[in-house]
């Protein structure tokens, strides 16, 4: 029995190791190749920062990265504000059609982005919005909003309404109750929803590709265009920077919030 237990434990460790290798090995290789002087990925590795220097001189790629960052930040702020407000309204008030409204939050997540991008392109041209960064922002907010609402709603499931009732009994008005009682409790869920919104926007390719105009593209669209012309190690450099910044952001956030842990 002990031998079988050791065998199962060993198999479990092997499985986890292979899974982690499958997830992280390509990323590690990409990061290493961003420091390889050879443009053809020749081995052994010759350490160099030439591709990072070339990246800073690629004004088109830098401009697209700034567009992505700007749109992602605006999307995060707008989607988090609207999504948190909607979640609070769904939590506090009962009205006719509430269950249907909550169910309608799921299809935008399940519908393929190719269909969503096509629908947005047709709709935006039909109402006169057209294409451009403003259209991309609207599309990203529409995609990120359901994620924020669902994440914040999940946090609200653990909220005790008695806390708000106690605050009201002590003379607090609705704004004070929301600001001093509800939002501090919701802050981990709001932060998680904001991270989802930022990731959905910054990583979004399909909708951005449909709604972008020449010269006003986002980083995923620009990377796709660069790969079609011929892959360059500059893509490895910008991808490595994004991964490092993303990991740092996640670690900083995890330092201050216990997602799924005890409060």
The tens digit of pLDDT for each residue in 22-51 reads 988 888 888 888 888 877 777 777 888 888
Number of H helices, E strands in the chain: 13, 0
* CB distance 152 to 194 below 8 Å: no
* CB distance 208 to 124 below 8 Å: no
Q: 212: closest CA among 140, 111, 260, 106? A: 140
Model confidence at 261: pLDDT above 70: no
Q: 240: closest CA among 65, 80, 81? A: 65
The tens digit of pLDDT for each residue in 103-140 reads 887 777 888 888 988 999 999 988 989 888 999 999 99
Predicted structure pTM score: 0.81
What is the model's pLDDT at position 55? 82
Burial class (CB in 10 A: 0-12, 13-18, 19+), 263: exposed
CA torsion through residues 59, 74, 202, 23, sign: positive
Length of the chain: 263
Domain parsing of the chain, residue ranges: 51-256
SS3 content of the chain, % helix, strand, coil (to 5): 75, 0, 20
CATH of domain 51-256: 1.10.3720.10
* CB distance 144 to 75 below 8 Å: yes
* CB distance 74 to 135 below 8 Å: no
The tens digit of pLDDT for each residue in 181-202 reads 888 888 888 988 998 899 899 9
Banded pLDDT at 79 (limits 50, 70, 90): very high
Q: What is the mean pLDDT of the chain?
A: 84
């Amino acid at each position: 029995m002990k031998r079988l237990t050791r065998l199962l434990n060993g198999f479990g460790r092997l499985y986890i190791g292979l899974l982690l290798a499958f997830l992280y090995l390509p990323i590690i290789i990409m990061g290493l190749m961003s420091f390889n002087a050879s443009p053809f990925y020749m081995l052994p590795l010759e350490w160099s920062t030439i591709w990072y220097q070339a990246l800073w001189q690629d004004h088109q790629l830098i401009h697209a990265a700034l567009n992505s960052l700007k749109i992602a930040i605006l999307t995060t702020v707008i989607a988090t504000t609207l999504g948190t407000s909607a979640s609070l309204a769904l939590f506090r008030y009962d009205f006719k059609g509430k269950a249907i409204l909550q169910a309608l939050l799921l299809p935008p997540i399940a519908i393929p982005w190719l269909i969503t991008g096509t629908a947005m392109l047709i709709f935006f041209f039909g109402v006169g919005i057209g294409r451009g960064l403003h259209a991309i922002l609207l599309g990203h907010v529409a995609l990120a909003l359901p994620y924020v609402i669902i994440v914040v709603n999940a946090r609200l499931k653990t909220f005790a309404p008695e806390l708000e009732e106690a605050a009201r009994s002590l003379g607090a008005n609705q704004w004070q109750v929301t600001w001093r009682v509800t939002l501090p409790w919701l802050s981990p869920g709001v932060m998680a929803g904001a991270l989802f919104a930022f990731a959905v926007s910054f990583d979004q390719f399909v909708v951005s590709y449909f709604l972008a105009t020449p010269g006003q593209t986002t980083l995923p669209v620009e990377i796709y265009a660069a790969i079609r012309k011929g892959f360059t190690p500059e893509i490895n450099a910008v991808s490595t920077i994004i991964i490092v910044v993303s990991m740092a952001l996640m670690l900083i956030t995890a330092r201050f919030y216990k997602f799924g842990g005890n409060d």
